[in-house]
Structure 1
């Protein structure tokens, strides 16, 4: 890999893709390419094939996906399954056919079974049933992992899958109908502080979650780009978790909200615990560096500067 290598970052305007773009630019990569969804509909196989024929990228990083929290997954199961399958299948197949040197597929920790032992190891994949509230997205991502594994096995190509834990950071989605728990909490606590109101949150607050700042994921992608990893699947996380209640109290402190927190037990909690075992990537030489408090502070600062537009930029 050299600094002039032509790298296509799919989803370069989203939270993950833009963080990867910033990281690679910072590291001196000069031949990055990206397309917005208006310029290239990744669900359209013919359009994707034409793009690959024309641009001939040497490396592809797949950070494009339809994403959302529990509510969005529940409300739009077909789109979460089908659109993610279309996006990744088109990218993986076109990369294979066009002899792309390296393909990095980004998924999610939700690919692992709901009641798998904690912390989650890569070998737990497909050993039990999934969490029902996000199984549509998970099934699509599992198919992507397996497609990359199949290409690696059958054609000996450098296709690798990175499974990050819950992500957050600048350019996150703060729309309350479609966002994940951490950015939704930042917006809720901020607006409650502005209006001197209590904050109402879903569930009991007892589930445990792990959170990774998106800049750390970008650093892991850079690490995978410059190193030929030995296996096909790696977890990316901090290896540390906390309860949703502790997360809420941390965000409350950082945003300066001083009112009451009300837990709505009629709403679902989701998976009881989701902590990644990150030993495999750590043994390769990479680990996360951003503390949760530092990451939330950075994210809240970005939110304050950009809170005229809560919705994530479309991929």
Structure 2
């Protein structure tokens, strides 16, 4: 069955019986967990302390916006999700939720998240959240994903905005600190997803998605992963350089980034007969740990600093 036939079959299918769990899965909870965590760090890292109530509203709205983006992505990508082993059990391709239902759910969540953030926090952060949803759904999902192997390089900006949104919610402006947090995710995204693309190359090829390994080959992909891993060295140093992080972050980030680069070098040195993709899978897994660890180090430093300021230590 072609992608076109798959799309029409999904739209003509009987559905509407999705459970609460199906709708929760529509929000891409694993992706949302990263969004929530980095947004919380952005809130703590900001030089202005926001009232806890407004902080809660900020994280709630960013979470809703991320979930809305996931739902709209599943609506539009239902045809390719149906033919990829990694995604075929998602609510829309599995038939639990109709594409039209996913679209309506995502659209309502988008409007609600932006309106709430603008009304209860500030218009600057609401505008940035609206742009983030638009960027992910329209520019990345509809415009780039199926047309260019650089899809994830440009589209990765969408996943890098959440800590910047929470920073703007607290300060009302974009500072160097917000840009440093943005760049951590933005530069991390290509090697992270290209490692996944090497590991799941057959899936993307079957769906006709022009990921780097399918278009330019595995050797070029390994080279690009190494280049971006090396770029993570100066990017990882930025939070400390602009005053967002201190010595604990600096030491931890340096150690984690060296391991990241070492794994990228190991992948780069592989021959074309790497059929098991164990190294690519290992790099993909470690890349997630790397990003969580760097943001966690910033959060720990900020919490310890607040506790010390309050006289706890």
TM-score where L is the length of structure 1 = 0.30
- Structure number with the higher strand fraction is 1
Looking at secondary structure, tell me which structure has more helix per residue.
Answer: 2
Q: Rg: which structure is higher?
A: 2
Q: TM-score, normalised by structure 2?
A: 0.30
